[in-house]
């Protein structure tokens, strides 16, 4: 995300305060090797197993893993009639994965004859993430997508004052939040659960997963659905927000101020 989203250098409109220009197309492609072994499993079969995967960064998109065809179990693939055209990469062909009596339609694609400016895509295949049953980065199962090596999460203790209000009523107030900074996203304050009026929160059925922070549980307030969330078992980069709640909703007012005593 840090390369392909503003203000990254591969975004369509990168940051304004630079001392360089990029001589090339506004829509940019950048491919580099992923440094670890990656596997994908479907219906009990390992469909790909590679130590030669490459991440393709493309303007406005999340990175996509491409793997050499030799590292794919092509005997489990069946070419389909589907094709798509990308003005930057060329014409894509698609394959369905079949194994164990199951199928994942058009789950794999490749550019057999890529455009000259993307010739390094030849001989590589890419997989949609969700149709596979499991993905592994080395021996650890990963969800959502592979971590972008240019993306980071930092959590810092701060004594800034934070108040969250709904229709003038205080929902949370603290002078000891955690500030989470994540590449390409706005800063988020995470408030200790003890400083939140938990009786106002009703647990929601909504869940989301972030490859950098983990699975989020959501909470609603009267008139503000899914207005708060927490990570009950955060991943290592975000472990310091365990036991904290963050808020964001158009119905809320979030006030921040200097530390007490300043």
Into how many domains does the chain fold? Answer: 2
Are 130 and 168 in a shared domain? no
CA angle, 87 as apex, 82 and 88 as ends, to 5°? 110
CATH of the domain at 67: 2.170.150.40
- What's the pTM value of the predicted model, to 2 decimals? 0.87
Nearest to 173 by CA among 191, 158, 155: 191
pLDDT, one tens digit for every residue, the chain (262 residues)? 578 877 777 777 766 677 777 777 888 999 999 999 999 999 999 999 999 999 999 998 989 999 999 999 999 999 999 999 999 999 999 999 999 999 999 999 999 999 999 999 999 999 999 999 999 999 999 999 999 999 999 999 999 999 999 999 999 999 999 999 999 899 999 999 999 999 999 999 999 999 999 999 999 999 999 999 999 999 999 999 999 999 999 999 999 999 866 5
104 is a domain residue: yes
Measured between alpha carbons, how far is 11 from 4 in angstroms, rounded to an integer? Answer: 4
CB 198 within 8 A of CB 168: no
Are 131 and 164 in a shared domain? no
Are 124 and 169 in a shared domain? no
Domain endpoint, select from 142, 163, 195: 142
158 is a domain residue: yes
Domain that holds residue 44: 29-142
DSSP SS3 for 245: strand
23 is a domain residue: no
9 is a domain residue: no
Count Cβ atoms below 10 Å from residue 67 Cβ, excluding itself: 23
CB 162 within 8 A of CB 176: no
């Amino acid at each position: 995300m840090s390369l392909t989203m503003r203000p990254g250098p591969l975004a369509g409109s990168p940051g304004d305060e630079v001392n360089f220009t990029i001589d090339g197309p506004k829509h940019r492609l950048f491919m580099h090797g992923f440094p670890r072994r990656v596997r994908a499993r479907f219906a009990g079969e390992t469909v790909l197993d590679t130590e030669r995967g490459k991440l393709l960064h493309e303007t406005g998109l999340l990175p996509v893993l491409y793997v050499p065809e030799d590292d794919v179990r092509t005997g489990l693939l069946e070419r389909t009639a589907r094709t798509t055209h990308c003005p930057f990469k060329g014409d894509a062909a698609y394959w369905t994965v079949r194994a164990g009596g199951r199928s994942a339609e058009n789950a794999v694609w490749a550019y057999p004859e890529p455009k000259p400016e993307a010739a390094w895509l030849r001989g590589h295949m890419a997989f949609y993430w969700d149709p596979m049953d499991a993905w592994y980065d080395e021996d650890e199962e990963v969800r959502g997508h592979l971590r972008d090596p240019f993306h980071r999460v930092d959590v810092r203790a701060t004594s800034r004052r934070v108040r969250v209000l709904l229709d003038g009523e205080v929902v949370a107030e603290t002078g000891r939040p955690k500030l989470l900074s994540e590449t390409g996203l706005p800063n988020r304050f995470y408030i200790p659960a003890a400083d939140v009026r938990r009786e106002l929160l009703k647990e929601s059925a909504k869940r989301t997963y972030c490859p950098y922070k983990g699975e989020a549980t959501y909470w609603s307030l009267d008139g503000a659905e899914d207005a708060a969330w927490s990570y009950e078992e955060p991943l290592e980069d975000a472990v310091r927000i365990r036991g904290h709640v963050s808020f964001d909703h158009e119905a809320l007012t979030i006030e921040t101020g200097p530390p007490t005593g300043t």
